Structures are given as C-alpha cells and as structure tokens.
Amino acid sequence: MRDENFIPSFMLKNKTDLRFLNIVAVFIFLTLLIKTLQAGKSLLIPLVIAIVLWYIIITLTSLYENLKWFKWKIPHWLAKTEAVLSVLLLVWFFVLIINSNVKQLIEILPTYQIKIQLLLEKFSETWNIERLDLANIVSSIDVTSFFSGLANGVGVFLSYGGTITIYLIFLLLEYRQFHSKWDNLFTDKRKLNHLQKILSKINADAQTYIKIQTLISLLTGILFYLILLAFGVPFAAFWGMLTFILNYIPVLGSMVATILPFTLGIIELNSPSSFLLLGVLLISVQVSLGNIMLPRLMGKSLNLSPLVILLSLSFWGMVWGIPGMFLSVPIMVILNIVLAQFKSTRWLAVMFSGTGKLD
C-alpha cells in the first residue's frame, strides 16, 4: 500500500496546495511583468503615448466633424488634418514655454532659496521656534533638481518623438480598418458583438477621461495663470502651463502644481494678507475643479477607487517614472474594463471599482 507521507506536499491535489501554487504563479508572473515593462520601456512608453495622442486626435476629429459652417459640414479628412495640426501646435507650444522658462528659473532658484531661508529665520525668531530648524530643512531641499528633471523629461519626450510619430501614423492609418478586420477575424457573431461592446466601452471611457481631464486641467491652468498674473507673481504663463500638465497626475500633481507657485508668491509678495489670499484662491480652484467638478463630470464612467488610483500611480511611477504617473489612470481604466468582462477576473474589477458595482 502506498504511503502518502512519502509523497511531496506540492504533488497533493488538495485546495491548500493549489492555492499556494496559484499564489506562487501570480508572484512569478508579476515579477516577470514588471521586469519586462522596465526592460521594454523605451519601446512601450512611446507606444502608450502614441495611443493617448491618437485618442486625442480622434476625439478632436469627431468634434470638428460635428461643427457646421452654415449648411457645410467639415469632411472627415479635413477634420482629421485639423486635429493633427492642433495636437502638433499644442505640443510645440508646451515645449517652447517649458524650455524657455525652466532655464531662467534654474538660474534664479538659488536666489529664491536664500530668500526663503531668510524669511524662515525671521519667522523662527518672531515665534521663538528653536527646536525645528526650518532654514536648514529648506536648504536641504534641492528644488533645482525638480526643474532640471522637468527639462530632462521634455528632452526624453522629444527623444521619443520619432518613435511616437511612427506609431501614431500607423494607428491613424489603421483606424478605419479595425472594424473590417474584426468582422473577418470572428465568424461567430455573438463573440464579435461581445468583443465590439468591450472595445466600445474601452474607447468611450478612455475618450471620456481624456476629454474631461483635459477640460478640467485646462480650466485650472487658465485660472492659475490669471490669479498669478493679477498678484504679479513671475512666470505666470509657465505656472499655468505646468499646472495643466501636472493635473494629469492624480493627487500628487495637483499638490505640486499648487505648492510651487504659492511658495514663489510668498517670496515676491511682501504683505502676509496678499500671499494668504493667493493661497486660498489657488487651493479653492484646485478643490472646486479637481475634487468637486471632476468627479461629477466623470460620473461612473471611470469608476475607480481612489486607493487604486494612488497605488496605480505608485506602481507605474516605479516602473516607468514620470511618464508612468501620467499614464497610470488611462491604463487602470482600460485594465478594469477588461477584467470586468471575464468571470475569473470580475472580482478584481469589483475590488478596483469606486462603487463596488459594475455596468
């Protein structure tokens, strides 16, 4: 008679062993996935950026097609041309403003840092704060590296420009052929309809995110520019542009976009009431647009838990750096839609969702 004590535990087909093997398999898969994403980021990041730009272009194309000049409707080819030119003009404008302002900021940042130290020393003496050496804390913060990193990020984006352009051209050329390819690939109409529903959901939610996030970020950037301009804070156009860009990074981006111009306002404005009012206005804009209007406009279309958004931000930031932070939300939106379509992964989609309910 065979003694089960001599059988290795991993060969026993009970639920505990299978669960353990599944956990090990998932751990190995995630480790390999992270390593693959990190190793292939020079090819994958341009591809994901190209997909995002492609979504922006097709969204603008549909917007331009719906515009009418009296009874004349813009044809598709002209609407797409205008959309491509709009995106190119916008990217050129961003790069121009960031490059021209970052160089000036890096040059004068040491002067601003000395001014902050002097203000904090005066504050410490006035309020008799001796235990906390605020001036030394500020001197240890290297703000220059942040703006140098921003300039390097623009340089990296431009270095990816050729690869992004190639991906984008092929995506635009293939866009009209996608539906006919799916029709020829699937003979089962039920499977084809199900796949088309999934793709339509992904497409609709991705476009919703891009349209609404762009609108909110644009409004925030314009309001920041007007507020900073009214208070006489230097580089108002740059801060407005930086706010627009950073607002695509959930939570962290909006915090950085608010703290940096406010700190500069403290240095430039002599009156405490002025820089306090500046801080109240900047925070009010971020809270009203980012925390109140944005969730209402998004509604249930994204349906992601705030915790999942933060974890996604950390994960993709670790894997792909700053580009990963920008792309974290669109990636999670698409992933959650896909997970919801299969019984074996539907529970993950429920856990990732903000309401616990799926469409």
Dist. CA 176–CA 173, nearest whole Å:
7
* pLDDT confidence band for 105 (50 / 70 / 90): confident
Is residue 1 one of the residues assigned to a domain? Answer: no
Domain C-terminal end among 143, 175, 207: 175
Q: Same domain, yes or no, for 80 and 114?
A: yes
Highest mean pLDDT among 189-193, 255-259, 295-299: 255-259
Is residue 28 one of the residues assigned to a domain? Answer: no
* pLDDT confidence band for 197 (50 / 70 / 90): confident
Which has more pLDDT, 26 or 243?
243
Is residue 2 one of the residues assigned to a domain? Answer: no
How many CB atoms lie under 10 A from the CB of residue 308? 17
Dist. CA 333–CA 195, nearest whole Å:
17
Is residue 52 one of the residues assigned to a domain? Answer: yes
Name which of 343, 342, 340 is nearest 352 in CA terms: 340
Is residue 62 one of the residues assigned to a domain? Answer: yes
Q: Read out DSSP for 255-320?
A: HHHHHHHHHHHHHH---HHHHHHHHHHHHHHHIIIIIIIHHHHHTTTT---HHHHHHHHHHHHHHH
Across the range 116-131, mean pLDDT stands at 63
Domain C-terminal end among 175, 204, 233: 175
What mean pLDDT, rounded, does the chain reach? 77
Q: Same domain, yes or no, for 55 and 116?
A: yes
Dist. CA 213–CA 248, nearest whole Å:
7
Q: Same domain, yes or no, for 321 and 246?
A: no
User: How much is the pLDDT for 150?
Assistant: 61
Domain C-terminal end among 117, 146, 175: 175
Is residue 22 one of the residues assigned to a domain? Answer: no
Is residue 31 one of the residues assigned to a domain? Answer: no
Domain of residue 122 covers 42-175
Q: Same domain, yes or no, for 159 and 54?
A: yes
Q: Same domain, yes or no, for 248 and 335?
A: no
Residue range 42-71, pLDDT digits in tens? 888 888 888 888 888 888 888 888 877 777
Is residue 105 one of the residues assigned to a domain? Answer: yes
Across the range 22-26, mean pLDDT stands at 74
Q: Same domain, yes or no, for 285 and 333?
A: no
Residue range 242-296, pLDDT digits in tens? 888 888 877 778 888 888 888 888 777 777 788 889 989 999 998 888 877 877 7
User: How much is the pLDDT for 57?
Assistant: 87
Dist. CA 79–CA 212, nearest whole Å:
21
Under a CB-based contact definition with an 8 Å cutoff, are residues 244 and 186 in contact?
no
pLDDT beyond 90 at 226: yes
Number of domains in the chain: 3
Q: Same domain, yes or no, for 151 and 203?
A: no
- What is the token pair recorded at 69? 């000049």
Q: Same domain, yes or no, for 160 and 81?
A: yes
Q: Is 113 exposed, middle or buried (0-12, 13-18, 19+ CB in 10 A)?
A: middle
* pLDDT confidence band for 299 (50 / 70 / 90): low
Identify the H or E element spanning 68: strand 68-69
Across the range 193-214, mean pLDDT stands at 78
Name which of 168, 247, 258, 185 is nearest 210 in CA terms: 247
Which has more pLDDT, 351 or 1?
351
Q: Same domain, yes or no, for 198 and 293?
A: yes
Q: Same domain, yes or no, for 325 and 248?
A: no
* pLDDT confidence band for 199 (50 / 70 / 90): confident
Q: Same domain, yes or no, for 159 and 80?
A: yes
Contacts of 17 (CB under 8 A, 6+ apart): 9, 10, 11
Residue range 32-44, pLDDT digits in tens? 888 888 888 888 8
Residue range 164-180, pLDDT digits in tens? 888 888 888 877 677 67
Dist. CA 62–CA 210, nearest whole Å:
14
Q: Same domain, yes or no, for 102 and 53?
A: yes
